[in-house]
Amino acid sequence: MAKWGMVIDLEKCTGCQACSTACQMENNRLPGENYQDVLYYTEGKQPTPQLKWFPRPCMQCEEPSCMHVCPTRATYKTEDGVVLIDWNKCIGCKYCMIACPYGVRFYTDEKPLVEPNVKAVFNGDRKLSWNPPYKGPQQDAAKGIGIQPDGVVSKCTFCYHKISKAPKGTPDLDPANPELVEYVPACVRTCAPGARYFGDLDNPNSQVNRLISDKQGTRLLDHTGNKPQVYYLTGAGAAGSAVPGTRAAKA
C-alpha cells in the first residue's frame, strides 16, 4: 500500500496562490476556507524588509494529533496514509482544530471568514454549508469530500477522490505524465513553476523520496512529533518562500 506524501520546493514556489485557487474550485471551498493556503508574512523594517510566503496544505501527519483526540473516530487515517473525516460521525466538538498544530481545519457553522458572505447568497438550507452554482463531481460524506455539511469540521483530503483511483504501485503521481494527470491532486497539477511533487513515501525509488534525500527535505514544526507527510525543500535559492519562524518579535 502506498503512503502518499507531498514535497514542496520552496526554491520554486512563487507564492502565486494558483494552488489555493485550484483547491478552492476542486473542493468547492468557501472564500477564506481554502484547504490549501499560502501564508504571507513580513519581517524586518525599511530599508531591509522581507516579504515571505509559505504554502501550507494539511500535513497528513503520520501521527495525526487531530485523529487521536477525535472522540468518535470521525477523523481517521486511510491505509494509504491520508487523514480523512467522516462527516456522518463528526459531532462538531472541534477538539481536532484545537489539537492540530498546523491550523488547517475548518468548522462550517460560523461567521464567514471573508466578507461578503457567499453562504447567504448560495444558501445551503442548513444542510450544506453552501450551495454553489458549480459543484465538484463527487460528494462522499464518509471521506469528507465535497461540500461540507452543517456542524462538522473539514480539511484537505490530498484530493482523495483523485489519488485513490491511481493505478496501484505507482511511485509518483507526476502531472507531466498524461496517463496519470487525472489522479494528481489539484494543487500539484496546477502549480505553474512545478514546485509540488506527489508520490509514495514508502517507495524508496519514488521521486519524492529522492528529493527529500538529495535536498534535505524538512518537516514543519517537527518537534510536535506529528511527523508530517508533507516535506519542504528549503534550498539556498529560495526567493522569499520560507518556513516561518514561530514567536515573532514582540510588538
Partner 1 sequence: MTIQAQANGPVTPVMMAGLAGLVVSLAIAFSNLMADGHAAFNTGSDGVIWGLPVVNYVFFALASTGLTLVASVAMTFGSQAWYPLAKRCVWLSLVTLVAGFASLALELGHPFRMLWAIPLNFQPTSPLNWMGLFYAVFLVLGILKFVRIHVGDWNSPASKQIGLAALVTELLAGGMLGMAFGAMAMRPMWYGTLVPLYFVLTAACTGGAFALLVTYLAYGKDAAMPDKVRSLIRGPLPMAFAALLGLTILVIGYRTLIGLWSNADGLQVWDHIVASPWFWLEAALLVGAFYLLLEKKALAAAALMVIAAFFIDRYFFVVGGQLAPLFKGAWVPELIPYSPSMTEWMLTLLAFSIVFFGWALGEKMLKLEAAPQGD
- Interface residue list for ligand SF4 (CB under 6 A): 58-61, 64-66, 69-72, 74-75, 83, 85, 90-96, 100, 102, 104-105, 152-153, 155, 226
Torsion of CA 49, 55, 58, 60, to 10 degrees: -110
- Toward partner 1, which CB reaches closer, 32 or 235? 32
Residue 59 binding result from ligand SF4, partner 1, none, given CB thresholds of 5 to 8 Å by partner type: ligand SF4
Interacting positions 86-145 with partner 1 (CB under 8 A)? 89-95, 97-103, 105-113, 126
- Toward ligand SF4, which CB reaches closer, 90 or 208? 90
- Toward partner 1, which CB reaches closer, 101 or 171? 101
Query: At a CB cut-off of 8 Å and minimum separation 6, what does 244 contact?
Result: 39, 41, 52, 54
Q: How many CB atoms lie within 10 A of CB 65?
A: 19
Check residue 72 for interaction with partner 1 (CB under 8 A): yes
Cell matching residue 29:
471551498
Q: Which residue has the cell 524508496?
A: 204
- Would you say 26 and 39 are in contact if contact means Cβ atoms under 8 Å apart? no
- Toward partner 1, which CB reaches closer, 204 or 225? 225
Q: Which residue has the cell 494527470?
A: 181
Q: What is the DSSP letter of 241?
A: B
Q: d(Cα 157, Cα 229) in Å, to the nearest integer?
A: 13
Q: d(Cα 127, Cα 149) in Å, to the nearest integer?
A: 6
Residue 10 binding result from ligand SF4, partner 1, none, given CB thresholds of 5 to 8 Å by partner type: none
Q: How many CB atoms lie within 10 A of CB 54?
A: 20
The single residue among 139, 150, 171, 210 that binds partner 1, judged by CB under 8 A, is 150
Residue 160 CB, shortest distance to ligand SF4, in Å, is: 13
- Give contact residues for partner 1 (rule: CB under 8 A): 32-33, 39-42, 51, 54, 56, 65, 68-74, 89-95, 97-103, 105-113, 126, 150-153, 221, 224-225, 244, 246-248, 250-251
